[in-house]
Structure 1
């Protein structure tokens, strides 16, 4: 709730860090503003330094007695997803209802198959899926762009599967789930705010993870 309130209060006076091409067709108005590098930022009492997508330090801007902060820097700091839809010229904050397939970002190709004999589960055939009869680990690369992973998962064979989703860079566990054959095709959700690289490890037997319906939000 704290994250939602913070962004809700600040979003009216924040700047989105997107490419110049995104604004080529908009009605830009020239203004006179000032960079304000002396302004200090704290989050939960801890001093932070705002940076752009390239890792360069960015300063707040003061205009007409109002201070503006870079939206992407703030969203990453508090773990709120932010995107820019260039078609509609819309800034998208928070989770996207439809999500983005994990195939849209770089991901591990090992155990990835399009063999219908392996991608079919209970009468539904998926175009592409992770499939392994003996368990194993796959790697995903959300690159800090999203806040939530919704992984579709089905156990193949007998017994239960233990799924461990980890932030590889910080070596921290994001989610642990136990799935049985009787659970069918289920959705496993994990908070991936500010996470760059994810490992999904499955032990105890085989699994099927449809790629197109497993999504980032």
Structure 2
């Protein structure tokens, strides 16, 4: 019985010390980085975004009101960034907010949430099919008539750096076209935002697409002359990043 009491007492002491340390660190952080202010929720303000009424909401979907401080209205940066379709990330450890996406990050295209037309476009890791114009890759998307690749971005990236190729016996130029595939795209979903071409002579061509502010995209691959077989490949060296947007260029 005495042992149990001692253990119980020790647990309470450790818990008490933990609470004190937690409060101390919290107080120290607040003392250095936070300053108290007198502010008010301004519930009389309404918002018009691109000509339409807009209500800022938190991550749980609850309506938010701006905070008025010394005559200026303030909104949480996430609500505003999402409304303006600007990528936003928060680094909790370093207390840093990235507006417009984190720099230098690259995400391989096949690591993204993607939907593929499985009739004419197929992902392959077969060594014979991943050997493209003399170079061995780990994975490719092979397209042998036409194909659509739909990728969910959630506005986190600015560029798609796409490596494409035409292999034997393909003898025709192939077009890679970018579309807005978001549910809210409406009639604009049929509009080509950007288009690049790859010919058999290119071997492997790097194409850079501007995907800034897009939730979901579609890459449509097809011959401009509607030839039945195109023998095109999207390579696993393709990726998304937050680098400088450009119409053409290399990695």
> Do they superpose with TM above 0.5?
yes
If each structure's strand is expressed as a fraction of its own residues, which one has the higher value?
1
1:27 aligned residue: 29
If each structure's helix is expressed as a fraction of its own residues, which one has the higher value?
2
Query: Aligned partners of 1:103 and 1:56: how far apart in 2?
Result: 35
Instruction: Answer yes or no: is 1:99 the counterpart of 2:106.
Output: yes
TM-score, structure 2 as length reference: 0.62
RMSD value, Cα: 3.0
Checking the alignment, whether the CA contact within 8 Å between 1:102 and 1:216 is kept in structure 2 is: no
Query: Aligned partners of 1:211 and 1:52: how far apart in 2?
Result: 37
Relative to 1, partners in 2 of residues 1:115 and 1:85: Cα closer, same or farther, differing over 3 Å? farther
Checking the alignment, whether the CA contact within 8 Å between 1:80 and 1:147 is kept in structure 2 is: no
Checking the alignment, whether the CA contact within 8 Å between 2:124 and 2:142 is kept in structure 1 is: yes
5+ long unaligned stretches in structure 2: 1-25, 224-229, 243-251
Checking the alignment, whether the CA contact within 8 Å between 1:35 and 1:59 is kept in structure 2 is: yes
Query: Aligned partners of 1:50 and 1:104: how far apart in 2?
Result: 32
TM-score, structure 1 as length reference: 0.70
Alignment of 1:13-52 (within 5 A): 27-28=29-30, 29=34, 31=36, 33-43=39-49, 47-52=53-58
Secondary structure at 2:129 match in 1 = helix
Instruction: Answer yes or no: is 1:108 the counterpart of 2:115.
Output: yes
Instruction: Answer yes or no: is 1:197 the counterpart of 2:199.
Output: no
Shift of 1:161: 0.9
Q: 2:74 aligns with which of 68, 75, 84?
A: 68
Instruction: Answer yes or no: is 1:185 the counterpart of 2:205.
Output: yes
5+ long unaligned stretches in structure 1: 1-23
Secondary structure at 1:27 match in 2 = helix
Query: Aligned partners of 1:68 and 1:136: how far apart in 2?
Result: 46
2:151 aligned residue: 140
Checking the alignment, whether the CA contact within 8 Å between 1:153 and 1:188 is kept in structure 2 is: no
Secondary structure at 2:81 match in 1 = helix
1:16 aligned residue: none
Q: 1:149 aligns with which of 144, 160, 163?
A: 160
2:178 aligned residue: 165
- Flag as ranges the 4+ runs of structure 1 deviating above 6 A: none
Higher alpha-carbon Rg: 2
Checking the alignment, whether the CA contact within 8 Å between 2:163 and 2:237 is kept in structure 1 is: no
Checking the alignment, whether the CA contact within 8 Å between 2:178 and 2:209 is kept in structure 1 is: no
Query: Aligned partners of 2:134 and 2:94: how far apart in 1?
Result: 38
